[in-house]
Structure 1
Amino acid sequence: MQQTFDSAVASVWAAAWDRGEVEALEALATPDYIRISKGSGKSMSLEQLQQDIREVRQAFPDLATTVDAVVVDGDTAAIFWTSTGTHRASFMGVPPTGRRVQTRGSNFVTMESGRIKQETVTWDSSELLGSLGIRHLGDALAEAGTGVVVDSLSGEPDPEIMKTFNRQFVTGVTVVTTTEGETPKGLAVNAYASVSLEPPLVMVCIQKTSSTYPALFASTHLGINILSNRQQGTVSTFASKAADKFAETDWHAGPNGSPLLDGSSAALEAEIRERFQAKTHTIFICRVRHAEVTDAAPMVYQAGRFYDSEGLSPL
């Protein structure tokens, strides 16, 4: 029994996970098979697992899985495995990074007539992103005490009220920049904040639908430019959908190549250290590696309008 089940698992998993022949799983699972994720508590049928594997393999086409050990005890078994692959296509909203990933897990199975009836796993496909250093803000998006992520604002403030609330917050104006190959990319962002001074950490929040987002996600460094009161044309350009936002923009490269805009009130270049997924946006946590400050007064933004900070009166 031990040798037969060991061989079946190795053969079927190689066919399904390594070659994408997901129909092979039907020889190893009962018709009423159910798979339960220990982490999320979610369950899926065999058909859902097959689709999950297809999506994983599309994003990690060279995925290879090694069954490290199988321990059988009567009608129960534990399967320990390791998978490696390269992130080549968009996966769970994350653009391809080209990074190699290795992830490990274990499956605890209950068998019926030598086939798997129920499987409790320590791993789900989001672990691939975690192994790449990309985390989801599950706790922030979950209902208190349930761990269940919700999509609506039911029982919470109306989205329009939240928009009005956010518009009342007075901020500076930044342009976040990077390069895609030799091409400079950038977009206007007001969701910027300093995280700490020691070590020097900053964060920016970028909408996933931005045309600059894939380039930013794949980059190791980015630039953050605090616009001055003389750069109203610049903010209009970088808030637009112009094909080449740098066509009439003067800039110079930071030490690691990030575009730093001439005429800015201040600019820095930072190394991207963490990427947190938060529904429609990604939060980039970055360690500052270079900074420049000028005497130019910064631009101020509030409720859809831009202001010259030099005209502000102290309290």
Structure 2
Amino acid sequence: MTGMENGVPHATTVSSFSSLSLTPTYAQVILDVSSRLLGVVERTKRLGINLLADHQKEIGTTCAGKGLDKLRDVTWRESAGLPEIADCAGWLACEATELIHVGDHKIVVARPLEIRSSDRAPLLYHRAEFRRIGESA
């Protein structure tokens, strides 16, 4: 997931992303309340959902870590005012319409403003590891 504030890109890896509604279209992501990116989303009301492709495990690992400049060594472009990671399996530029506080996390209800997909296979996260479709657990 990515965000942009004052021209500075921000990124984090989320383990919980899903479709929420087809009509109208909504998605949801869940972020820890201590997430720097959550603060960016709360202030800007915008987020980018980058569905990593199966060859982008390193990006997923880097963005899951701590640090300020997680996109430093990642190829990305600004799209709809948000960082879009190159060669992703899919991309959603979203408006955050609701933030729901639940325990130590917040659910971000996201209304897509732009949606793009590709033929690339997605990177999956299962049993605490990044995996490819068809890979046994």
Amino acid at match of 2:25: P
Q: Is 1:277 equivalent to 2:108 in the alignment? A: no
Instruction: State TM-score, norm by structure 1.
Output: 0.42
Q: Do the aligned partners of 1:254 and 1:290 also contact (CA within 8 Å) in 2?
A: no
> Aligned partners of 1:302 and 1:274: how far apart in 2?
27
Task: For residues 181-227 of structure 1, give each alpha carbon's deviation from its aligned partner in whole angstroms, at most 9, with x where no partner exists.
Answer: 11000100021110111111111111011222211211221100111
- Residue 204 (structure 1) aligned to one of 22, 29, 42: 29
Larger proportion of strand: 2
Q: Does 1:288 align with 2:105?
A: no
* TM-score, length-scaled by structure 2: 0.93
Amino acid at match of 2:130: F
> What is the letter of the counterpart of residue 185 of structure 1?
H
Shift in Å, 1:242? 2.5
* Structure 2: distance between partners of 1:240 and 1:252: 21
More helix per residue: 1 or 2?
1
User: For residue 203 of structure 1, what is the amino acid of its counterpart?
Assistant: Q
Report how many residues are paired: 136
Query: 2:12 is paired with a residue of what secondary structure?
Result: strand
C-alpha contact 1:205 1:282 (8 A) present in aligned 2: yes
Other structure's SS at 1:236 match:
helix
Which residue of the partner structure matches residue 253 of structure 1?
Answer: 78
CA displacement, residues 211-265 of structure 1 (integer Å, 9 cap, x when unaligned) = 222112112211001111110110111001122111111112222x011111111
Aligned equivalents of 1:219, 1:278: Cα separation in 2: 21
**1:139-218 paired onto structure 2 within 5 Å:** 176-218=1-43
For residue 279 of structure 1, report the CA deviation from its aligned partner.
Answer: 2.2
String of CA shifts for 1:13-36, please: whole Å, max 9, x gaps.
Answer: xxxxxxxxxxxxxxxxxxxxxxxx
Aligned to 1:116: none
Cα distance in 2 for residues equivalent to 1:254 and 1:197? 23
Q: Secondary structure in 2 aligned to 1:189? A: coil
2:48 matches 1:223: yes
Q: Matches of 2:130 and 2:110 in 1, distance apart? A: 27
Aligned-pair RMSD on alpha carbons? 1.4
Q: Higher relative CO (CA 8 A, sep ≥ 6), structure 1 or 2?
A: 2
Q: Separation in 1 of the partners of 2:73 and 2:93?
A: 21
- Alignment check: 8 A CA contact 2:41 2:96 kept: no
> Identity percentage over the alignment?
27
Indicate the residue corresponding to 2:86 in structure 1.
Answer: 262
In structure 1, list runs of 5 or more residues that go unmatched: 1-175
Greater Rg over alpha carbons, structure: 1
Partner in structure 2 of residue 303 of structure 1: 127
> How far apart are the structure 1 equivalents of 2:101 and 2:41?
14
Partner letter of residue 40 of structure 2?
A
2:64 paired with 1:244: no
